[in-house]
Amino acid sequence: MTDLLAIGTRKGLWLARSDDDRRTWMLDGPHLLAQEVAAVSIDTRLPTPRVLAGIQYGHWGPTVMWSDDLGTTWEETDHGAIRFPEGADAALARVWQLRPDTADRPGVVWAGCEPHSLWRSTDGGCSFELVRGLWDHPHRKTWEPGGGGGAVHTVLPDPASDRVTVAMSTGGVYVSEDGGNEWEPRNRGITAAFMPDPLPEYGQCVHKVAVDASGPDRLYAQNHFGVFRSDDAGGSWTSIAGGLPADFGFPVVSSPSTPGTAWVIPLVADMQRVPPDGRLRVQRTRDAGETWTELGDGLPDASWTAVMRDAFCADAADPTGIYVGTRDGCVYASADEGDSFTLVADHLPDVLTVRAVKLP
């Protein structure tokens, strides 16, 4: 069996393969050289895996491309897989997230984009339709852009119901229970230090949300200051930042198989986006955020880099593998849930996104 790790960077895509259960990796690339790859996914529901990439052609604009031969050739839709309809008075600025849905929803792929918008494809990512329920939400025009732009960056379709959860910077967490028609903010308890009301209904800068393996109602959120957990599908949130060296950061990743297990990578603060003490470290909880353990075997000291919100992921293997990509172009893989890491690549452009799967 081959494990495949897709690494999207500021200037292209690399694919790493492991044929020895993730102990060593062979790097292949660059693909899409000189294109920014801010979103990537590997759709293993198809007979041959499809690599989907949300790219930015620098001068020539953003689009979605796909490869059905693991990067050898790439295709795109003539008129653009994602394009705002006439009358929307908006143009796609960046694809932030590509999320294939479950196996029993073949062809369905979700995309989160800038400006704040959610899209749904039923043809495997070749073309997408704007989810009007979120686009037409009366709150939308008050969602501010974060430092990287205003975007839907997290899309979490529930495999067992019509619930879809999204997170936005800024805007916060919104949930639809009917597949995307009606949306409501679910941010109670999440702080917004940059707003006059520190506990607003919406407007928070939630950097990433992950679903716990116990079920769809337990969520983790890495916020712009604060790490939170919800046990009621976002209805309310409580801090789980106690025990962390800092509560700022971008990604949060949950185990797909072990309830209560999740990982974050703290940075000092929003005005100091570097690891505490200049040591790149992952923090892991085994008890849904009650306690945290620092993990650093194989990660660098004297490291003043950062990890972006999608440059951290887990695979679906047992034990869970986790993967860290840094802004200084390094990628680290752990085949033992973070107990130890090995270097997959270094000297790449800054890493924006990583995704890992076991090839069928």
CB 213 within 8 A of CB 273: no
For residue 117 the two structure tokens come to 């918008």
| Backbone φ and ψ of 142, nearest 5° | -100, 0
Q: Taking the complex as a whole, how short is the minimal distance between the CB of residue 77 and other proteins, in angstroms? A: 9
CB 25 within 8 A of CB 14: no
SS3 letters for 296-311?
CCCCCCCCCCCCCCEC
- Choose the binding region for other proteins from 84-92, 109-117, 222-230, 321-329 (rule: CB under 8 A): 84-92
Q: Does residue 79 touch other proteins according to CB under 8 A?
A: yes
According to CB under 8 A, which one of 47, 78, 196, 271 is a site residue for other proteins?
A: 78
DSSP letter string over 241-290?
A: -TTSS-SEEEEEEE-SSSTT-EEEEEESBTTB-S-GGG---EEEESSTTS
According to CB under 8 A, which one of 47, 59, 104, 271 is a site residue for other proteins?
A: 59
According to CB under 8 A, which one of 13, 52, 92, 209 is a site residue for other proteins?
A: 92
The residue to which tokens 């950097």 are assigned: 207
According to CB under 8 A, which one of 57, 136, 181, 257 is a site residue for other proteins?
A: 57
- The closest alpha carbon to 127, from 64, 61, 46, 209, belongs to 64
CB 129 within 8 A of CB 114: no
Q: Taking the complex as a whole, how short is the minimal distance between the CB of residue 346 and other proteins, in angstroms? A: 20
Residue 173, SS3 per DSSP: strand
Q: Does residue 246 touch other proteins according to CB under 8 A?
A: no
Can you tell me the distance from the alpha carbon of 313 to that of 41, in angstroms, rounded to the nearest whole number?
11
- Of residues 112 and 266, the one with the C-beta less far from other proteins: 112
Q: Does residue 76 touch other proteins according to CB under 8 A?
A: yes
Q: Does residue 18 touch other proteins according to CB under 8 A?
A: no
Q: Does residue 91 touch other proteins according to CB under 8 A?
A: yes
CB 262 within 8 A of CB 312: no
Q: Taking the complex as a whole, how short is the minimal distance between the CB of residue 61 and other proteins, in angstroms? A: 5
Q: Does residue 63 touch other proteins according to CB under 8 A?
A: yes
According to CB under 8 A, which one of 17, 68, 83, 269 is a site residue for other proteins?
A: 83
Q: Does residue 61 touch other proteins according to CB under 8 A?
A: yes
Tally helices (H) and strands (E) across the chain.
Answer: 1, 28
- Choose the binding region for other proteins from 71-79, 111-119, 297-305, 326-334 (rule: CB under 8 A): 71-79
Angle at 111 between CA 108 and CA 117, to 5 degrees: 130
Can you tell me the distance from the alpha carbon of 75 to that of 257, in angstroms, rounded to the nearest whole number?
34
Total Cβ atoms within 10 A of residue 56? 19
- Of residues 91 and 359, the one with the C-beta less far from other proteins: 91
Q: Does residue 74 touch other proteins according to CB under 8 A?
A: no
Angle at 324 between CA 150 and CA 286, to 5 degrees: 100
- Of residues 156 and 351, the one with the C-beta less far from other proteins: 351
The residue to which tokens 């979700």 are assigned: 110
Residue 59, SS3 per DSSP: helix
- Of residues 79 and 347, the one with the C-beta less far from other proteins: 79
Q: Taking the complex as a whole, how short is the minimal distance between the CB of residue 97 and other proteins, in angstroms? A: 20
How many residues bind other proteins (CB under 8 A)? The answer is 17
How close are the terminal C-alpha atoms of the chain, in Å?
7
Q: Does residue 58 touch other proteins according to CB under 8 A?
A: yes
Q: Taking the complex as a whole, how short is the minimal distance between the CB of residue 86 and other proteins, in angstroms? A: 8
According to CB under 8 A, which one of 49, 68, 74, 84 is a site residue for other proteins?
A: 84
- Of residues 88 and 268, the one with the C-beta less far from other proteins: 88
- Choose the binding region for other proteins from 59-67, 94-102, 160-168, 330-338 (rule: CB under 8 A): 59-67
- Of residues 61 and 242, the one with the C-beta less far from other proteins: 61
Q: Which residues bind other proteins (CB under 8 A)?
A: 10, 57-61, 63, 76, 78-80, 83-84, 89-92
